[in-house]
A and B are shown apart, each in its own frame.
Chain A
Amino acid sequence: MNIVESIRIALKAIWANKVRSFLTMLGIIIGVGAVIIMVAIGNGASKNIAEQIQGLGSNLLTVYPGYFLYEGDGVGVMRSAPTLSLEDAAALEQGEHIQAVAPMVNTYEEVFLGSGNTQTSIYGTTASYLKVRNKELQWGRFFTDQEVADYKRVAVVGSGVVESIMGSMDPGIIGKNIKIRNVPFQVIGVLQGSSTGFYFEDNTVLIPITAAQLRLTGSKEVQEINVQAVSADDMQSAQEEIISLLRKAHKLGPGQENDFEISNQEDILKAMEEATRTMTMLLGGIAAISLLVGGIGIMNIMLVSVTERTREIGIRKAVGAKESNILWQFLIEAVILSVIGGGVGILFGWGGSALASRFLGFPAVVTLSSVVLAVTFSALIGIVFGVFPARKASVLNPIESLRYE
């Protein structure tokens, strides 16, 4: 008897036992689907957080005024002091390992346009901002160094702000004068929205730092300076350069502490990765349990089904089936059910991940390794627990199998 005939026998047996076949597949579908969805969510979350951090800008170092006071348990407390200025930012631009510098001030204000208004963060910055922060414009243009030097009242707004004050993403915002503390600022550009719509930069208004200091904060103080290193390899050198340039600018003697702090993007990334790793492990645990439960389900049905089918095995053997014929039949049945169940499970996992993406607000990322792991595990259980009991039944005397109740 050839393999085609064995497959035909197996297909007929699957069809003759539709309900049982379906239940077996269901176990595999749930196991595979759950694992794919869980792993996809965990993965998507990590990716999303990593992207958000990279979205802050690449090779970014941030300088804060003031210094950390370390207390007994090593926890740092920021003591701010108005120690950074636009001159410092200009000084940093001399650094060899430094590509771009964007000083920043920040306030929180109400923004008006006609009848529309919204509460939002206002950032005063320079023309380097786009480059340093890796941002792009949707419409219009960014302000120039000349406009910064001229205290020009111009503004680049985030997409969230446009929606709030115009009611929709309307390019007609360009050229309009928005009012901040009754001072009109002409909108000249709109920032590209982030894919998720949750990014904080969607709800900001950017204006020249000079205008912000003059009209809003009322001081020469700079709250942070974003510094972009030439490349990732230059981060360390750039950091050392910042220290020496600022110490010189601030005329600090050898015995004096730095009156500024530098925060490294990598430090943030590490902290965030730590947090996502915990979440991924949690989801992985849930996935493993789903797989186990699915596996036990498959096991259960396979064991019950072989017990039920001992009579069938007896009948087949009574009319001349060899043990090998019986084993092949059960093996092929288990493989077919595993393959179909695994396939549907993948579709189910995929669809579920897509659905989860909608509710979560970030894309769940299906990974090949989770698909392979889930399908292999389920198929293995299906096959092992389909074939082992069948093997036991196939070596029985036909008459013993037929008597089996």
Chain B
Amino acid sequence: MLLLITLQGITKIYRTSKVEVTALQGINLHIAKGEFVAIMGPSGSGKSTMMNILGCLDTPTAGEYILDGMKVAQASRKTLADIRNKKLGFIFQGFNLLPRTTALENVELPLVYAGVKRKERRERAIEALKAVGLEERIRHKPQELSGGQQQRVAIARALVTGPSVILADEPTGNLDSRSSEDVMAIFQKLHEQGNTIVLVTHEPDIAAYARRIIHFKDGRIERDEVLAKNMEAPA
């Protein structure tokens, strides 16, 4: 089993002018290549905080984060930008697409910063949009798309660079159940193709798509359960 993510004693303390909030209290965690992990837990338990650290969008106060054999915690801001670009695909609850910009251009964006040539960029972006079933909507702007469609554009943007890990913080949080199913079907497919996925959710039926569920409470891992179907699955 190839280790992709290792967290050792990851701690995050938010310091505001008056109070100090310890959002994560020494998280230890290993995630292997090809795993589909769901993270659950009550509101304020530190799920988003950990996802942001995993996604290199935020830095831990203390602890070690090793991604694909690389010590991330010590990396420079420039290196972190490169890691976000090439190794990580992040999906937000609120989509975070560039407004007034077409689906195609949104999906191309990571490739622009990766320095991929225009023609190849376009081909790969169209391919990624096909993979999420949006080949008919590539010229649409976010405001011309439904929530579910916007989230699928965001997924296409996350996977277009072929990242090592796809991270999703409550990707269905803003979607109705019909759109949630569409989105989860895509994650299911990505997992079957061998992608590593870490996903935060409050809903048990969403978490049920995963093969492993990590339960958070008060900035700590309370329980780490591997679902039975994972055991049944032939190697």
Residues of A within 8 A of B (CB): 1-2, 5, 9, 12, 16-17, 311-312, 314-323, 325, 395, 397-399, 402
Interface membership of B3, Cβ < 8 A: no
Cβ contacts under 8 Å, A323 to chain B? 77-78, 81
What does the 1/0 interface line of B198-223 toward A look like (CB < 8 Å)? 00000000000000000000000000
Partner of A319, one of B59, B78, B109, B115: B109
Taking A320-B84, A321-B81 as contacts, is the C-beta distance between A9 and B112 under 8 angstroms? yes
Partner of B96, one of A1, A320, A395, A402: A402
Quick check: B78 and A5 within 8 Å, CB to CB? no
Cβ contacts under 8 Å, B52 to chain A? 399
Quick check: A12 and B105 within 8 Å, CB to CB? yes
Cβ contacts under 8 Å, B58 to chain A? 397-399
6 CB contacts below 8 A, A to B, read A317-B84, A318-B96, A319-B85, A319-B90, A319-B109, A402-B57
CB distance from A15 to the nearest CB of B (A): 8
Quick check: B99 and A16 within 8 Å, CB to CB? yes
Residues of B within 8 A of A (CB): 52, 55, 57-59, 77-78, 81-82, 84-86, 90, 92, 96-101, 105, 109-110, 112-115, 157, 161
Q: How far is the CA of A5 from the CA of B117 in the complex (A)?
A: 10
Quick check: A320 and B113 within 8 Å, CB to CB? yes
Quick check: A320 and B57 within 8 Å, CB to CB? no
Residue of A nearest to B157 (CB): A319
Quick check: A322 and B78 within 8 Å, CB to CB? yes
Q: How far is the CA of A393 from the CA of B47 in the complex (A)?
A: 26
Q: How far is the CA of A395 from the CA of B157 in the complex (A)?
A: 23
Q: How far is the CA of A340 from the CA of B98 in the complex (A)?
A: 25
Quick check: B85 and A320 within 8 Å, CB to CB? yes
Cβ contacts under 8 Å, B98 to chain A? 16, 312, 315-316
CB distance from A100 to the nearest CB of B (A): 75
Main secondary structure of the interface of A (DSSP, over half): helix
Cβ contacts under 8 Å, B105 to chain A? 12
Cβ contacts under 8 Å, B81 to chain A? 317, 320-323
Partner of B59, one of A2, A316, A397, A402: A397
Taking A318-B84, A319-B84, A322-B78 as contacts, is the C-beta distance between A399 and B57 under 8 angstroms? yes
Taking A12-B101, A322-B81 as contacts, is the C-beta distance between A316 and B115 under 8 angstroms? no
Q: How far is the CA of A285 from the CA of B96 in the complex (A)?
A: 48
Taking A397-B59, A398-B57 as contacts, is the C-beta distance between A316 and B77 under 8 angstroms? no
Q: How far is the CA of A12 from the CA of B98 in the complex (A)?
A: 11
Cβ contacts under 8 Å, A9 to chain B? 112
CB distance from B114 to the nearest CB of A (A): 7
Q: How far is the CA of A319 from the CA of B57 in the complex (A)?
A: 10
Taking A315-B97, A399-B57 as contacts, is the C-beta distance between A320 and B78 under 8 angstroms? no
Quick check: B96 and A316 within 8 Å, CB to CB? no
Quick check: B113 and A321 within 8 Å, CB to CB? yes
Q: How far is the CA of A285 from the CA of B137 in the complex (A)?
A: 56
Most B C-beta atoms less than 10 A away, residue of A311, A316, A318, A402: A318
Quick check: A398 and B84 within 8 Å, CB to CB? yes
Most A C-beta atoms less than 10 A away, residue of B55, B57, B115: B57
Residue of B nearest to A315 (CB): B96
Quick check: B113 and A1 within 8 Å, CB to CB? yes
- The 9 A-B residue pairs with the shortest CB-CB distance in the complex, in nearest-first order: A320-B85, A319-B110, A399-B57, A16-B100, A320-B113, A322-B81, A398-B57, A399-B58, A320-B84
Cβ contacts under 8 Å, B161 to chain A? 320
Q: How far is the CA of A165 from the CA of B110 in the complex (A)?
A: 82
Quick check: A319 and B101 within 8 Å, CB to CB? no
Quick check: A397 and B157 within 8 Å, CB to CB? no
Cβ contacts under 8 Å, A1 to chain B? 112-113, 115
Partner of B86, one of A2, A317, A320: A320
Quick check: A5 and B99 within 8 Å, CB to CB? no
Cβ contacts under 8 Å, A319 to chain B? 84-85, 90, 109-110, 113, 157
Quick check: B100 and A320 within 8 Å, CB to CB? no
Cβ contacts under 8 Å, B97 to chain A? 315
Quick check: B109 and A316 within 8 Å, CB to CB? yes
CB distance from B60 to the nearest CB of A (A): 12
Q: How far is the CA of A214 from the CA of B12 in the complex (A)?
A: 111
CB distance from A93 to the nearest CB of B (A): 83
Q: A311-B96, A320-B110, A402-B92 are in contact. List 10 more A-B contacts (CB 8 A).
A: A16-B100, A16-B101, A318-B55, A320-B84, A320-B161, A321-B81, A395-B77, A397-B59, A399-B52, A402-B96
Q: How far is the CA of A202 from the CA of B94 in the complex (A)?
A: 78
Cβ contacts under 8 Å, A311 to chain B? 96
Q: How far is the CA of A2 from the CA of B85 in the complex (A)?
A: 16
Cβ contacts under 8 Å, B59 to chain A? 397
Q: How far is the CA of A325 from the CA of B100 in the complex (A)?
A: 20
Cβ contacts under 8 Å, B78 to chain A? 322-323
Q: How far is the CA of A38 from the CA of B101 in the complex (A)?
A: 41
